[in-house]
Amino acid sequence: MNLPDIIKAAEGRYLALLESFFNARWRDTRLWSHDLSHHRRVWQYAKELLSFTYNAQEEDFIDELLIACYLHDIGMAEDRGEKHGINSRKLCEKFLAGINKHPDDFADLLNVIECHDNKSYSGSPVQGRLFLLLSAADDLDAFGYTGIYRYLEIYLARGIEPGKIASLILKNATSRFEYFERNFGNYPELISSHRKRYNVLRDFFQNLESEFSTKSKALRR
């Protein structure tokens, strides 16, 4: 089968089940930055990346990528911290058991979900193509105007001081884009398209950082 047919088949098997499972666990959670719409967008970005990097005979891989895209942040229903991946893993195990799949048969998927929140990309015990595509697709949703809102909401929810937010976001976003550029540099049109979105976010927070710095200096005079 060609890639569009494989994707359509995977969505036919899992999409409705994943969205139902997600909504049931997220029902009382108020965190727009990581709700179902985020996971839908991550899957769209993953499909875009697949269109550049697809290898034949990947039906099982695409099934797992779809599940990862939809459940990687579901753990934030319980934990909004940076290390929410462990909760996402546990909920993914419940999802798999609920559709009569044994979690032991999905070790790579579960490890990738648990470790996806390592955005420094250093010292991660998990590597491989599933980790790469999930991480990159997740990162792409952090850019552009949507990314501005997403970053602000989650950083404020984590109790980060407003005066420190801009510099921390710039550091995190730069790490994400460098990871993307490093791994997809062979596709210049892909890099160019998302560099524009990264620049929107970078410029906003550079200006915000500058404004905070200017006001802070004025207050110290």
Residue-wise pLDDT for 181-204, tens only, equals: 999 999 999 999 999 999 999 999
Tell me if 186 sits within 8 A of 158, measured CB to CB. no
Q: What is the pTM of this model?
A: 0.92
Helix (H) or strand (E) holding 14: helix 3-26
106, 204: one domain:
no
Helix 59-71 to helix 107-115 angle (10° resolution) is 30
Q: Provide the pLDDT for residue 83.
A: 75
Residue-wise pLDDT for 79-91, tens only, equals: 776 778 899 999 9
- Rounded to 5 degrees, φ, ψ at 187 are -125, 80
Phi-psi region of 77 (alpha: psi -120 to 50; beta: other; left: phi over 0): alpha
111, 190: one domain:
no
180, 100: one domain:
no
CATH classification at residue 12: 1.10.3210
61, 79: one domain:
yes
3-state secondary structure of 158: coil
Tokens standing for residue 213: 């710095």
Neighbours of 37 (CB within 10 A): 12
Percent residues over pLDDT 70 in the chain: 92
Q: Provide the pLDDT for residue 2.
A: 87
Who has greater pLDDT, 216 or 177?
Answer: 177
Question: Could you tell me how many residues make up the chain?
Answer: 221
Q: Provide the pLDDT for residue 124.
A: 64
25 lies in which domain range? Answer: 1-138
What residue ranges in the chain does DSSP mark as E strands? none
Q: Provide the pLDDT for residue 221.
A: 53
- Rounded to 5 degrees, φ, ψ at 142 are -90, -5
CA pair distance 22, 160, nearest whole angstrom:
27
Residue-wise pLDDT for 47-72, tens only, equals: 999 999 887 667 899 999 999 999 99
